[in-house]
Amino acid sequence: MTSTAQRLAEIRGGKPPRRHNARTIAALTGNPGCDRRAVLDSAGADKPALAEQVGFPARFGQSRFAITRGNAFEAQVKADGGAELLRLVAERLGVDPGGPGTWTDLGADDRPGGPDQPDRAERSRAALAAAAPAARGRAHLPTGEAPTAEPQTGEAQTGDAPTSGEPAALFDHPLLSLDVAGRRVHLEPDLVAARLAGRFHVVEIKSFPVIDGQADPGKVAAAAVQSAVYVLALRELLAAEGHDPSLVSSDVVLVCPRDFANQPVASLVDVRKQLLVLRRQLDRMARVDDLLARVPANFTADPAADPDHLRRALSSVPARYAPDCLAACELAYFCRHEARAETTALGRPVREALGGVADVAEVLALAAGEHPGAPEQAEAAALLRAAARLRADALTGRPS
C-alpha cells in the first residue's frame, strides 16, 4: 500500500472506500473547486454517514415509484432482444441497422453477486473489443483524442460504416471501469451499441419524458454527464486493446418515453464538452498528493469519530459552498451552515452584485460607511454606500 493510499484509508477511518458509480463521478464535475469534496471523494469517505454524524443529514431519498417506473421502462425498451431498440437507435443515427442485430447480455447471469466478478469485467472487455472493426479503424480514423474534429451527425458518419455486412451488436449492461483517484471504479452503462455507423454508441435509458421534443433540461444535463463517464471508460477499454478510442462516438443516444405514454423515443446528445470537464476533474483527482499536501496531517472523515472533532476536522479543509451543492453533495447542509455568514450562501449572482465582497457583515459595514474598506474594495464600497442610501430613502418614503 502506497503512502497516499494509506493516508486516504486513514481519512475514511480504515473502512472500505465507498464505491463510485457514474452518478457520483458525474457529480464530481459539479463543483470542481471544492477541496473538501475532492478530498472526501478521493478517499471514498462515507459522506452520508458523515453528514448524519455532524448533525446535517442529507436528503437524497428516492421514491420507490420512481425506481419501479425506471426499471419497468428499461425492461420494456429492452424486450425482444432489443429489436425495437436497435431500430430506434439506427433510425436516430440515420443508418440502416443491416438486419437484426446480435444481443449480448453481459449482466444478467451474475446479477446477485454485484459487479465484482473478475469474469464479468473480462467478458465485457473481450466482447466489446471483438466488436471493434479490427485494424481497419486504425487506418481510417484520426488517432488519439481529437474530439473537435469528430463529425457531429449520424449522417456524416455513414461513410465509415462497415462494409463487412456484420450485423449491429448490442451489449446489455457491459461492465466497464475507470481510474478515479487511483482506484478502479466499475461502471455499468445501460447499453452499448456497436457497428452502427461504424462506431460504438453509449445508449442510456431514462424514464423522464420527452414532451413535444423537449425534456427537463436539468435531467438531460445529468444524463449527459453520466453518459460521458461511460464514453470515457469505453474509450479507455478500446485504447487498451489497441483500438482507436475515437471509435466511441461522443454522441450518446438517450432513450426516453415520448410525451405521456410509454413509447420510447431516441435522441442524440453531444457530450464532448462534458468529456473535457470530466477528464480535467479526473486528472485533478489523480494528483491527489497535491490535494493531500493542503490537508492537515490529522484530518479525519471517519463517521465513527466524535461529532465535535469531526466538525472541526471538516472545517480545517476549505469548502466552496454554492446553493447548487444542495442538489449534488451529501455534505451540502453542513457547508451551508458553515457559510451562512457569507454572501456566496445567497448565490453567486448576489455575491457579484455586492461587488464580490465575501462576508455579509463586511457588506453591511461598507454599506453603512462604517469604514472605507480595503483599497481594492473602494469601488464596491462606493456602490454599496450608494445602494444603502437609496434603499433607506425609498423605504422612509422621502419624495423621489
Partner 1 sequence: MSTLRALAKAQALAAGVAQPVATVRHLHLSPRPLVLVPLTMAGEANAPLAVLVGDAPDAARLLIVAQPRNRDQRFAFAAELAGVVLPYLDSFRGGTEAVAVDRGRDVRHRYVDAPQLLVPNPAGITFLRLFGRSTRFRRVDGDYPVHPSVPLLGRWLTFFAERAEHPGSSALVALTEALTLHWATGQSAVEDLHLPAVLGWIDPPPGLDGARAAARAEDPSLCPPAGPATDPDFDNRVLAPAIAAYAGAGDDEAARRSAYAELERALRGQLAPTWDLMWRGLGLLAALPPGARVEDRWARDRDAFTAHAEHVDEGGGPQPRRDGAVAAAVRLHRLERALTSYAVQRAYDDPLVMAEHRLAGEAFVGDVTLADPGRVDDTGKRPVLRPRIQVVTTEPVAVPLGATLYSPARPGQKAKVVFVTPAADGKTEVVLELSGGMGRGLTAPPGTVPEVGERLCLTTLSDGFLPAGAFPAPEETPWTHGGPPAAAPVDPAPATAPAASGPAPADGDPAEEWG
- Chain residues that interact with partner 1, rule: CB under 8 A: 59, 61-70, 72, 76, 88, 91-92, 207-213, 257-263, 265-267, 323-324, 326-327, 340-341, 343, 345-347, 349-355, 360-361, 363-364, 367, 383-384, 386-388, 390-391, 393-395, 397, 399-400
Residue 364 vs residues 336, 356, 374: alpha-carbon distances, Å: 20, 13, 14
Q: Choose between 211 and 304: whose C-beta lies nearer to partner 1.
A: 211
* CB closer to partner 1 out of 20 and 206: 206
In whole angstroms, how close is the CB of 265 to partner 1 at the nearest point? Answer: 5
CB of 250 to partner 1, least distance (A): 20
* DSSP state string for 271-329: -HHHHHHHHHHHHHHHTHHHHHHTS-TT----TTS-HHHHHHHHHTS-----GGGGGT-
Q: Smaller CB distance to partner 1: residue 67 or 130?
A: 67
Tell me the closest approach of the beta carbon of residue 91 to partner 1, in angstroms. 5
Which residue number, 130 or 341, has a Cβ lying nearer to partner 1? 341
- CB of 41 closer than 8 Å to CB of 28: yes
CB of 229 to partner 1, least distance (A): 23
Task: Determine what percent of the chain falls in helix, strand and coil, rounding each to the nearest 5.
Answer: 50, 15, 35
Nearer residue to partner 1 within complex by CB, 128 or 325: 325
C-alpha cell at 142: 484520426
Measured CA distances, 123 to 118, 187, 232, 300 (Å): 9, 14, 19, 39
Tell me the closest approach of the beta carbon of residue 374 to partner 1, in angstroms. Answer: 18
Q: How far is the CB of 62 from partner 1 (least distance, A)?
A: 6
Q: Are 385 and 366 in contact (CB under 8 A)?
A: yes
Query: CB-wise, 300 or 334, nearer to partner 1?
Result: 334
Q: At what angle do helices 35-43 and 272-286 cross, to 10 degrees?
A: 80
C-alpha cell at 357: 465582497
